[in-house]
Structure 1
């Protein structure tokens, strides 16, 4: 009996001592990050006394997983918000607002229209346009600078990710070794591993699991592995050959690499990637679409007038080249492909990317791809050999508002793929082509005169100038009208008239006239003429009105008013004015920032709740440990008394035997 009592007391001493040690370990690690409270379990022995079991970590794998998920979600929105809030603050700043510079430019055009002969006013308008172009560059620079910052942060984050996965892999080796040499679990090493997994979730949305050996494996949310047992992988950035503005990630397994899906990465890396591929790309293309709309509209209108030097107007702005991209093995073929915006067709320009490929011997296909990388609508099929070419060798793709030139058709194979985005970098590539204020074509390219012998009070006026292209209008390359163009309108009665050329030959007649506006349109000549005229009231029989270019007034502002009125036209995608479009862009940035900020705040609350749940189970409570320490000290003392009693009993028995 004494011997049994001795064993019971000794096991109690060992149990209490082990629990005191565990309590001491917990207490000493009260401020250790990632430490999980430990507990030494015991069970009653069937032969008496207590049996020590494992000292285990108090963790809930479900709660730990939720902490990692919530950490990833908060880090995603925090990283995204950090970038987009900076963009919002910069783009919304009044001092760099594009609308401020648009207002100044169009105000300057309005002012010069008051006195088209003033060189100083013309130069002031030219300077305003130069400042406007510079502002496009500033805004484009804001976007590109943010892209550079994202790239730098992404590079740094991936270094951290790869370092963490390497550490987790190394800990797997240490855990396997330590637990192979001892029956005790490697609690501290597993705590370190859990902390690393939580740190990793700040960068990516990961799923931590344990294999049949109890070793941690890490996969991305989409199932792609990052840590496989003792073998880590490495995430690398690779350039996207077809769309350099976008980021490609690969997972390196040492001997080979696998493309990483960038959708739904989570964490700060996912936030940075999504900011760059979503907002940054959208912002660059939106500004580019805006710049194209401005340049095309003003160039088109300026070419409908006469400049300060008496010449037909030319382009006021120029746009940079539209870059064409392809795979590395086909990059040399891109030099044979040229793309430009069709004159006067900027309203058709979208923010999409286009993929060009060959379908058969003669035909080519253009696929539309939206900002998210999804193909949209039906492909456009065209045969460049069957389409009319302009003087530069370009063929027009009406549906897209672009001109394309393929210099070496035989070099393009069926499997070759080429991509281009007209709006990409267009704001940065915008430049002022006009050399000075005299380049502003404020005057009309022709004059109209009312016959001095007319019987009525009707006066002729120029209604509109639609086209001055020598190839498709009545205007010759050096300015005057072609002899075969409309030069005179003669009323044979108050309700009928004929249109005559420069030689007086009748080229059209109109009867039953009730409206005296757009006379050439009524005669079916306005499209080929490129202009139209109206008379102010009902003419009389014999009234004559002449059209020509001999008496163009230097103080005329007919085309200048049309230039200034572009401020009120729906130029961007054919839907919005320039100012409304930019205001809409700024509103989008603001609402997107507010949306991301709301998600960031909400995700922080959720994360704090998850951390609190984890701490309620795994964190060290000094009050609880103090109670445990007192309890186990008392238990130790009681067990010592049992051992003493057993010894006394045993000695008494020995004395009786003597």
Structure 2
């Protein structure tokens, strides 16, 4: 009877534990990262009765956590990559919207400005037309500044995202290390729910940093970044620290402190949300801001050059129409010398938006790309007479740089935020060609005034009156000097201007060239200004300003689409990994319902065994009482 009672009670307890486990599974069907559990039953050791062994029922051998490390690792890696792709896609889409939307983009105000410049050609002396040019110029520079400020705001968001992410990684890492300590201290009696809790924390950490986790023999999980740096090893966690960029104090960067060492982390070192932030900054934000600045500088420089070649309504030569910021040069924080570099744009057609690191070795300078480290051609010695020249930028060295000193040249980054309109008086718009030509009325040849152009607006004698007299059809003098050879159809060049004649002049024919003067309605320079948007001023004279704007918008849009496609593709891979994990570790309600019914019936049967044992015992007592 005792054996029957013991067998029944043991079975009752075992099936009660099984029902509790099934209930636990059902209760956590919606718990993220939960791994279903299963009671493993085994027979008790039998009793030797002399004639043989008699079984003693059932016992709970283990409550097993159903998990597959390979499936978990695949899900972990997919989750980290998905977090990176989604972060990059979301931020890139914001930049794309900023440039492509008519309300915030550059195309509309750009067209308005050049339309106004073109409109000035129809009435170059009109105050209203001139006011329109200034108004649209101010609107254009304001849009440049607005776009640059928005990109600066995104850069600040990246900084804030890196700071907050580093704090979360450190908090999660410390918790994982603590759980590792608990698990390894008693590896044979570990709570399944504790293992799930650790897995959830590891998943969260990898969502920030990318990478994977590797299980040790003692049960601890070591977590590594996408670049292979250890974040958690056993019960020790490394710490992500935030520091300022040595070239740009306004920008933060991350480093990993562990075992007394500090490892600087670059874009390839981290995945997850942090990797997405860093990829966005290096692959989308920085190039967009630099190219926007290059377009702003290109517009301002080309427009200023042409504007200086014209004459305003006051009879004065044109000045700079736009104010243009100089390229930025930042010292490295560890520089020991007193050297400085002063930069200016020397050749607009060679101007490159790419950041360059300049290094002094004690006797000579070298230049490399800031992103790849590839060498960049560099000429000059750094003096005012022979400046350093790299990618169209001229640099003059001041002070005394020390060996090993480094400088970061940002040719156009942020330039869009500093461009402005340099004049506020509409009369100062140089719409006229500064010189004009006139033929004498008594000329007998067929020579007529063709076009007059300024070839050197800085020439000291540009506005000095010049009298041209032809000795015959092939020779002429200027203010009595000469004679100079003349070929029909070829321009006459002097004093920074060029005069073309139609027809054939005769001996004695005279032409005069002089200042256009104040109040002129001449539109020669206005025509040139209005056509500058199509002038091939960039990329060695192969790309127009209009083309550069279209290229910037297309590049940003393409980057956003590619990031979006990558996020969608990674979502599919993640869903597949999640399904594979859930097929092993997930809770199946139908299966749990069947188990509950099965264990419920077994529990009832075990209870009946106990009832039978009680009946037997009562029968025995009754027999003894007789």
Q: Same fold (TM over 0.5)?
A: yes
Of the structure 1 ranges 420-429 and 600-609, higher mean CA displacement relative to structure 2 is found in 600-609
Query: For 1:64-110, what per-residue CA distance to the aligned partner results, in whole angstroms no more than 9, with x for missing partners?
Result: 11212222222222222222222222322212332221222222222
- Please point out which of 452, 457, 463 is paired with 1:480: 463
- Cα 1:360–1:26 change in 2 (3 A) is closer
Offset at 1:647?
9.4
- Please point out which of 565, 585, 605 is paired with 1:618: 585
Mapped partners of 1:454, 1:368: distance in 2? 63
- Cα 1:139–1:600 change in 2 (3 A) is same
- Cα 1:488–1:374 change in 2 (3 A) is farther
Query: For 1:391-418, what per-residue CA distance to the aligned partner results, in whole angstroms no more than 9, with x for missing partners?
Result: xxxx372x6222222222xx11221111
The match for 2:490 is 517
Mapped partners of 2:263, 2:443: distance in 1? 84
The match for 1:184 is 189
The match for 1:421 is 410
- Cα 1:332–1:169 change in 2 (3 A) is same
The match for 1:237 is 242
The match for 2:149 is 141
The match for 1:579 is 546
The match for 1:128 is 136
The match for 1:356 is 358
Mapped partners of 1:493, 1:375: distance in 2? 64
Mapped partners of 2:71, 2:123: distance in 1? 76
Offset at 1:188?
1.2
Determine if the alignment matches structure 1 residue 228 to structure 2 residue 195. no
Offset at 1:463?
4.0
Q: Is the 8 A contact 2:293 2:412 kept in 1?
A: yes
- Cα 1:490–1:367 change in 2 (3 A) is farther
Gaps of 5+ in 1: 390-394, 521-525
Secondary structure at the counterpart of residue 328 of structure 1: coil
Query: For 1:564-623, what per-residue CA distance to the aligned partner results, in whole angstroms no more than 9, with x for missing partners?
Result: 121221234333333332233223323322222222233223322322222222122233
Offset at 1:304?
0.9
- Please point out which of 150, 175, 193 is paired with 2:158: 150
The match for 2:279 is 274
The match for 1:392 is none
The match for 1:110 is 118
- Please point out which of 497, 510, 513 is paired with 2:475: 497
- Cα 1:42–1:261 change in 2 (3 A) is farther
Offset at 1:207?
0.9
TM-score, structure 2 as length reference = 0.89
The match for 2:66 is 58
Query: For 1:430-453, what per-residue CA distance to the aligned partner results, in whole angstroms no more than 9, with x for missing partners?
Result: 011113212211222222232443
The match for 2:566 is 599
The match for 2:172 is 164
Offset at 1:122?
2.0
Q: Is the 8 A contact 1:302 1:559 kept in 2?
A: yes
Secondary structure at the counterpart of residue 333 of structure 1: coil
The match for 1:74 is 82
The match for 1:629 is 596
Q: Is the 8 A contact 1:56 1:185 kept in 2?
A: no
The match for 1:26 is 25
Mapped partners of 2:180, 2:573: distance in 1? 31
Determine if the alignment matches structure 1 residue 506 to structure 2 residue 505. no
Determine if the alignment matches structure 1 residue 338 to structure 2 residue 316. no
- Cα 1:261–1:384 change in 2 (3 A) is closer
- Cα 1:607–1:270 change in 2 (3 A) is same
Q: Is the 8 A contact 2:431 2:522 kept in 1?
A: yes
Offset at 1:246?
5.8
Secondary structure at the counterpart of residue 464 of structure 1: strand
Q: Is the 8 A contact 1:247 1:273 kept in 2?
A: no
Mapped partners of 1:424, 1:333: distance in 2? 24
The match for 2:368 is 367
Mapped partners of 1:147, 1:439: distance in 2? 38
Offset at 1:18?
3.7
Q: Is the 8 A contact 1:365 1:382 kept in 2?
A: no
Of the structure 1 ranges 44-53 and 537-546, higher mean CA displacement relative to structure 2 is found in 44-53
Q: Is the 8 A contact 2:225 2:271 kept in 1?
A: no
Query: For 1:334-355, what per-residue CA distance to the aligned partner results, in whole angstroms no more than 9, with x for missing partners?
Result: 6x3210112xx22211111122
Offset at 1:214?
0.7
Mapped partners of 2:477, 2:178: distance in 1? 92
Determine if the alignment matches structure 1 residue 404 to structure 2 residue 395. yes
Mapped partners of 2:372, 2:252: distance in 1? 16
- Cα 1:290–1:229 change in 2 (3 A) is same
The match for 2:515 is 549
Q: Is the 8 A contact 1:246 1:277 kept in 2?
A: no
Q: Is the 8 A contact 1:105 1:129 kept in 2?
A: yes
The match for 2:448 is 459
The match for 2:254 is 249
Offset at 1:377?
5.1
Of the structure 1 ranges 29-38 and 185-194, higher mean CA displacement relative to structure 2 is found in 29-38
Mapped partners of 1:415, 1:240: distance in 2? 18
Of the structure 1 ranges 640-649 and 19-28, higher mean CA displacement relative to structure 2 is found in 640-649
- Cα 1:571–1:167 change in 2 (3 A) is same
Q: Is the 8 A contact 2:308 2:320 kept in 1?
A: yes
Determine if the alignment matches structure 1 residue 211 to structure 2 residue 219. no
- Cα 1:121–1:650 change in 2 (3 A) is closer
